[in-house]
Structure 1
């Protein structure tokens, strides 16, 4: 069943995001609104990946798990951006999320800590338990056998310190993708997005990560921005946020009404 171009049929065969990104670019957005309905609508309208922003938004573990369910139901991968390195990492993955994003990574030691928290031995030191990812303990052997290959582990470089340590960070095995945070990077550098200093910094991160065999992601302002980065080899393209989409569409419609004849 469909409504316009929106599919209303659930997708039960969701491929691991890590495998997909290894082959092609994927597009999605950040979710800030605390509702699985938003997750489902984003997926139904074309988002291949939805990043639940638990760094900034008011999300707790039960709602994050609902986001993962909603995304999987509609055929989209849900990745969780955690606040920082720690217990949030393994708990986020226990929801069944396709991966995790860690913000503000600034040293190789931090990247190694991320790997320890997200990979099962012998690669890391993650523990296993009866959470949703293992079908509440009913499918532990299968999950344990495949998780290291299936889960996407992302380190964000978005500060001057991270930029200075980019060569060491991208060399850490177990980190799949390096993500650029343009706004925070500009803030940390004391410049503006799009300045020559900022552009050079973004280019350095992208080229260094690709040269090390890592995939790259970036937060994009719009579709044209995303297409440009895709052409440069970036595979994880996150356009705007759910709130930005809502605000843009609403403000356009209200402005068109205000400018027209009210009768």
Structure 2
């Protein structure tokens, strides 16, 4: 994927590819298609990736877990980036990277799938093309914060992503993203990223959350999710209707 510094993304959890197409057309640099906390099957993910690509937008898939089989199946669909949850130490980060690489560098199984243009680019994709994938690992627990420097230094880790809900819960301050312990944790991750030369991003689901998290010095942001836009948009519209009736 292109340089993530100063990039703005969006989040897609709903199952209709039209939603992903609309989201990716909203002047964003990338769109995350979530399979960890969303009921999206492989066929739906493939259609969402096509919809994002149709908007000339970069795609990232969040996998359900740091598992090479699940990662392999999603990578065959051809996203531009991979987001791996709950990476707590350097060993887990190395496992995530290995799952994206073909032997001898990694453990990914070889197939002429969509990622290789159904075989048209098979040889070049296996030789070099698959390395273009961006690997982003999520920092979501206290242990991950403690190990952030080691995680960021792993060869093949392209970015760190703070999961604000899980991290604040781990620290006992959910959903207070201004809590001193949460701010200190984010600052530690940012320091680790700066030392390793990798960007650090996070997700804000409201304008207030985006401002609060962005003010901490975050390098890239996911600005809201499809379902939060729907909920907040409806709330504003209904509130306006109630005001005038």
TM-score of the superposition, structure 2-length normalised?
Answer: 0.91
1:123-147 Cα offsets, whole Å, 9 max, x none, are: 3232220211111122112222333
Q: Give RMSD over aligned pairs.
A: 1.9
Equivalent position to 1:175, from 157, 164, 171: 157
Q: What pairs up with 1:241-260 in 2 under 5 angstroms?
A: 241-260=225-244
Equivalents in 2 of 1:122, 1:217: separation in Å?
30
Contact conserved, 1:54 with 1:81, CA < 8 A, in 2?
yes
Equivalent position to 1:133, from 106, 115, 136: 115
- Are 2:47 and 1:63 equivalent residues in the alignment? no
1:102-138 Cα offsets, whole Å, 9 max, x none, are: 1111121111111110123443232220211111122
Q: What pairs up with 1:186-197 in 2 under 5 angstroms?
A: 186-191=168-173, 192-197=176-181
- Unaligned residue ranges in structure 1 (runs of 5+): 1-16
Equivalents in 2 of 1:223, 1:120: separation in Å?
41
Moved more, 229-238 or 210-219: 229-238
* SS of the residue 1:240 aligns to: strand
Equivalent position to 1:220, from 184, 198, 204: 204
- The alpha carbon displacement at 1:228 in A equals 7.2
1:165-214 Cα offsets, whole Å, 9 max, x none, are: 21221121111111111111010011132101110101111111121111
The number of aligned residues is 242
Counterpart of 1:89 in structure 2 is 71
Counterpart of 1:150 in structure 2 is 132
Equivalents in 2 of 1:128, 1:230: separation in Å?
39
Counterpart of 1:75 in structure 2 is 56
1:48-106 Cα offsets, whole Å, 9 max, x none, are: 21111100000111110111100001111121111111111121111110111111111
Counterpart of 1:35 in structure 2 is 16
1:7-30 Cα offsets, whole Å, 9 max, x none, are: xxxxxxxxxx2x332xx4221121
Contact conserved, 2:101 with 2:131, CA < 8 A, in 1?
no
Moved more, 49-58 or 146-155: 146-155
Counterpart of 1:164 in structure 2 is 146
| Alpha-carbon spacing, 1:182–1:231, altered in 2? closer, same or farther (3 Å) | closer
- Are 2:10 and 1:26 equivalent residues in the alignment? no
Equivalents in 2 of 1:110, 1:93: separation in Å?
18
| Alpha-carbon spacing, 1:211–1:226, altered in 2? closer, same or farther (3 Å) | farther
- Unaligned residue ranges in structure 2 (runs of 5+): none
* SS of the residue 1:20 aligns to: coil
